């Protein structure tokens, strides 16, 4: 008999949330507590709050001037002043002073003529002029705040003004996170993981997300893959938590004990939700407390928190669920999706022209960096087969819409110098964020054609003319006026392990079919360069072991070589140098920035071009190694090749 778990029927996220809420008794789970008003910002009232005293508690002068009995001023006219005796028929007051007995109006200091012992006025005062009456703002016994009201900074002032010094609020939601797994290393130990080991980080992602919801968060030490240890850890956490989250172990593996432990300690409600990533989410209850099995993959774990836990926490707290700002975005690439399950697609988003453009990022559930690179995400409905190129979709933003105006949208070939550009641009007086999507040189040209990028990086070599980029621009962008500016001349070659143990000397070394090669994706300039040299050497692609294996960046190629999953790959010297690998030169190529002319006046492009023309970027590029900068910042023309003429 298999030791593996079996998924219960996966259900839509709203149904999973509703199931958990229906199984919890909020009134007995989240109890009221009394705290000082001045410490209650962001807390939620447990009952209606009534004023203890009025504000103001006395009739008060609202202006600097003189308090008077209004009927003594009625005869005052322009040219026919009325004289009032100080501390007799008029009394000096400052703003906030109590109104003297017998007086019912205040005349502003600007409207009197001071004669020493008397004042003269040329206009009458009406009853209660410039006076704040008792209870003008707050009347004793009136309701100030209803129950389940989130207390703001302004509420604090109103409460204290009404003589409220302590207030009953719902206690904060307490969450305990239990990391699990034999392979998990506590991050606090600052470990260097060996093969098969993973630095635990999901607890800190959950801590940050929970803090944003005003949740008191605790994380335990990692628990090894033993059911008895997990049972004990959950029982302990239940003693002082409203929510217990078990990190990882929620899927169907032989060491995934979460669903079994929840079923043993309480009631298993949900095992699997109909969303990707995030499917292995588990929900249950024990002792009227919520038990959660969060997936181990970081992106899946985030979806579990944001789509499942956030609405439950908001309900328990008596708060409205926070909503992200949304925009309509045109997609720069067709994005297929498997019907039958909702899918969240992370996107790099930027302002392009009059609207917003987005490029789908990698969709792996284990790729936390796709969340750091994304500006938002879109939801592909369960009944959909995906999103078409240029289709407009609703995107939920991770940051504000305002930040997109200072985002430089790049689609094209990957190069390490783009990271330099991005870092320097963010250090400027007006920080500009460079969003770079690695779609290859041809992907960049396609993005410019679809008007979903401000610029593209390309390094396409044309064997017939010996020129770079222009033959391809003329062919694929005949109707788009562009300016081409050089970023650098870079060295392409074979990235090999330190010491080059297989003695790779060049393209001919691959003809044996015994060297495990890692390729770049179709449409990448590096792939086109490789194919050109294969053809020149009369080597058929099917003779190259690994020709069909693809990566999307030079650093990914270098990482494959470093870890031994490939013997070599074609890439730039800077990538090999960054990981301490060796390099066998193959060719020099011109990496250019292509900008549609209609965006040349855009402030973001102006900043980019200014940086390209500066000595600062040349110095930074030179430190990477494997680049030459004689053309950097210069406008290129057809036929220039690798020279300035």
**Is residue 221 situated within a structural domain?**
yes
Summarize pLDDT for 565-617 with one digit per residue, the tens: 999 999 999 899 999 999 999 989 999 999 999 999 999 999 999 999 999 99
**Is residue 122 situated within a structural domain?**
yes
**Is residue 480 situated within a structural domain?**
yes
**Is residue 350 situated within a structural domain?**
yes
CATH number at residue 194: 3.40.980.10
CATH number at residue 558: 3.40.190.290
Task: Count the neighbouring beta carbons within 10 Å of the beta carbon of residue 340.
Answer: 11
CATH number at residue 39: 3.90.105.10
Report the DSSP pairing between strands 456-458 and 582-596: antiparallel
Mean predicted confidence (pLDDT) in 144-161 = 95
- In which band, very low, low, confident or very high, does the pLDDT at 338 lie, cut at 50, 70 and 90? confident
What's the residue count for the chain? Answer: 645
- In which band, very low, low, confident or very high, does the pLDDT at 254 lie, cut at 50, 70 and 90? low
Same domain, 441 and 564: no
Task: Count the neighbouring beta carbons within 10 Å of the beta carbon of residue 147.
Answer: 14
Same domain, 482 and 608: yes
User: What whole-number distance in Å separates Cα of residue 298 and Cα of residue 304?
Assistant: 10
**Is residue 638 situated within a structural domain?**
no
pLDDT at 2: 43
Mean predicted confidence (pLDDT) in 523-529 = 86
Same domain, 110 and 140: no
pLDDT at 6: 52
Mean predicted confidence (pLDDT) in 620-642 = 91
Instruction: Return the percentage of the chain with pLDDT > 90, whole number.
Output: 79
Q: Is the pLDDT of residue 642 over 90?
A: no
Question: What is the per-residue DSSP string for 100-111?
Answer: PTT--EEEEGGG
Same domain, 177 and 293: yes
CATH number at residue 111: 2.170.190.11
Same domain, 567 and 517: yes
Angle at 444 between CA 443 and CA 450, to 5 degrees: 90
Q: Is the pLDDT of residue 1 over 50?
A: no
User: What whole-number distance in Å separates Cα of residue 223 and Cα of residue 533?
Assistant: 53
**Is residue 514 situated within a structural domain?**
yes
Same domain, 435 and 480: no
CA nearest to 49, candidates 132, 126, 142, 139 = 142
Same domain, 543 and 603: yes
Summarize pLDDT for 109-126 with one digit per residue, the tens: 999 999 999 999 999 999
Same domain, 180 and 307: yes
**Is residue 486 situated within a structural domain?**
yes
User: What whole-number distance in Å separates Cα of residue 212 and Cα of residue 346?
Assistant: 21
Same domain, 296 and 383: no
Mean pLDDT of the chain: 92
pLDDT at 439: 83
Same domain, 96 and 219: no
pLDDT at 640: 86
Summarize pLDDT for 388-413 with one digit per residue, the tens: 888 999 999 998 888 898 999 999 99
Number of H helices, E strands in the chain: 18, 39
Summarize pLDDT for 489-518 with one digit per residue, the tens: 999 999 999 999 999 999 999 998 899 999
pLDDT at 286: 97
Which of 122-131, 244-253, 268-277, 592-601 shows the lowest mean pLDDT across its residues? Answer: 244-253
Domain that holds residue 293: 13-27+173-317
Same domain, 480 and 619: yes
Mean predicted confidence (pLDDT) in 10-20 = 95
Number of domains making up the chain: 5
Residues 366 and 276: beta-carbon distance below 8 Å: no
Instruction: Return the percentage of the chain with pLDDT > 70, whole number.
Output: 98
Same domain, 224 and 282: yes
Q: Is the pLDDT of residue 7 over 60?
A: no
Q: Is the pLDDT of residue 4 over 70?
A: no
**Is residue 258 situated within a structural domain?**
yes
């Amino acid at each position: 008999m298999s030791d593996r778990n079996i998924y219960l029927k996966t259900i839509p996220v709203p149904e999973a949330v509703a199931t958990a809420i229906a199984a919890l008794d909020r009134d007995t789970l989240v109890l009221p507590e009394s705290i000082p008003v001045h410490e209650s910002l962001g807390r939620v009232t447990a009952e209606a709050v009534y004023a203890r005293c009025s504000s103001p508690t006395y009739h008060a002068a609202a202006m600097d001037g003189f308090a008077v009995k209004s009927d003594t001023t009625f005869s005052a006219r322009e040219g026919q002043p009325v004289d009032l005796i100080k501390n007799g028929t008029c009394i000096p007051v400052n703003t906030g002073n109590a109104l003297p007995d017998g007086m019912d109006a205040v005349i502003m200091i600007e409207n009197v003529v001071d004669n020493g012992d008397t004042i003269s006025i040329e206009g009458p005062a009406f009853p209660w002029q410039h006076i704040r009456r008792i209870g003008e703002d707050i009347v004793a016994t009136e309701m100030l705040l209803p129950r389940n009201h989130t207390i703001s900074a302004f509420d604090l002032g109103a409460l204290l003004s009404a003589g409220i010094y302590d207030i009953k609020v719902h206690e904060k939601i307490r969450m305990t996170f239990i990391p699990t797994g034999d392979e998990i290393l506590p991050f606090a130990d600052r470990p260097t993981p060996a093969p098969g080991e993973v630095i635990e980080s999901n607890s800190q992602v959950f801590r940050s997300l929970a803090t944003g919801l005003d949740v008191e968060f605790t994380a335990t030490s990692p628990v090894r893959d033993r059911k008895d240890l997990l049972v004990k850890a959950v029982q302990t956490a239940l003693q002082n938590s409203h929510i217990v989250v078990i990190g990882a172990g929620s899927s169907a593996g032989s060491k995934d004990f979460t669903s079994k432990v929840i079923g043993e300690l309480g009631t298993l409600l949900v095992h699997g939700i109909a969303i990707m990533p995030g499917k292995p989410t588990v929900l249950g209850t024990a002792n009227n407390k919520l038990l959660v099995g969060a997936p181990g993959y970081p992106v899946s774990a985030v979806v579990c928190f944001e789509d499942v836990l956030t609405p439950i926490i908001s309900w328990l707290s008596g708060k409205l669920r926070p909503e992200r700002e949304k925009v309509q975005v045109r997609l720069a690439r067709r994005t297929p999706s498997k019907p039958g399950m909702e899918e969240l697609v992370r996107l790099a988003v930027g302002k392009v022209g009059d609207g917003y453009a987005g490029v789908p990022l990698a969709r792996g559930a284990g790729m936390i960096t796709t969340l750091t690179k994304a500006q938002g995400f879109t939801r592909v409905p369960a009944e959909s087969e995906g999103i078409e190129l240029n289709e407009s979709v609703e995107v939920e933003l991770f940051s504000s819409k305002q930040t997109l105006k200072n985002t430089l949208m790049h689609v094209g070939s990957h190069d390490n110098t783009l990271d330099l550009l991005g870092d320097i641009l963010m250090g400027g007086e007006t920080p500009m964020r460079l969003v770079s999507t690695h779609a290859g040189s041809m992907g960049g040209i396609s993005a410019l054609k679809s008007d979903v990028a401000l610029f593209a990086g390309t390094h396409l070599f044309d064997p017939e003319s010996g020129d770079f980029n222009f033959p391809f621009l003329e062919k694929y962008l005949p109707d788009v006026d562009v300016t081409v500016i050089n970023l650098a001349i870079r060295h392409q070659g074979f990235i090999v392990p330190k010491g080059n143990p297989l003695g790779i000397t060049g393209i001919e070394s691959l003809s044996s079919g015994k060297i495990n090669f890692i390729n770049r994706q179709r449409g990448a300039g590096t792939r086109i360069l490789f194919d050109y040299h294969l053809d020149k050497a009369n080597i058929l692609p099917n003779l190259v072991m690994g020709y069909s294996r693809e990566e999307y960046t030079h650093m990914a190629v270098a990482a494959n070589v470093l870890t031994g999953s490939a013997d070599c790959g074609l890439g730039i010297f800077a990538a090999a140098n960054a990981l301490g690998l060796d390099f066998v030169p193959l060719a020099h190529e011109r990496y250019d920035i292509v900008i549609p002319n209609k965006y040349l006046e855009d402030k973001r492009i102006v900043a980019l071009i200014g940086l390209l023309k500066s000595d600062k970027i040349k110095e930074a590029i030179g430190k990477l190694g494997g680049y030459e900068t004689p053309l950097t910042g210069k406008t290129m023309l057809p036929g220039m090749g690798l020279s300035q003429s």
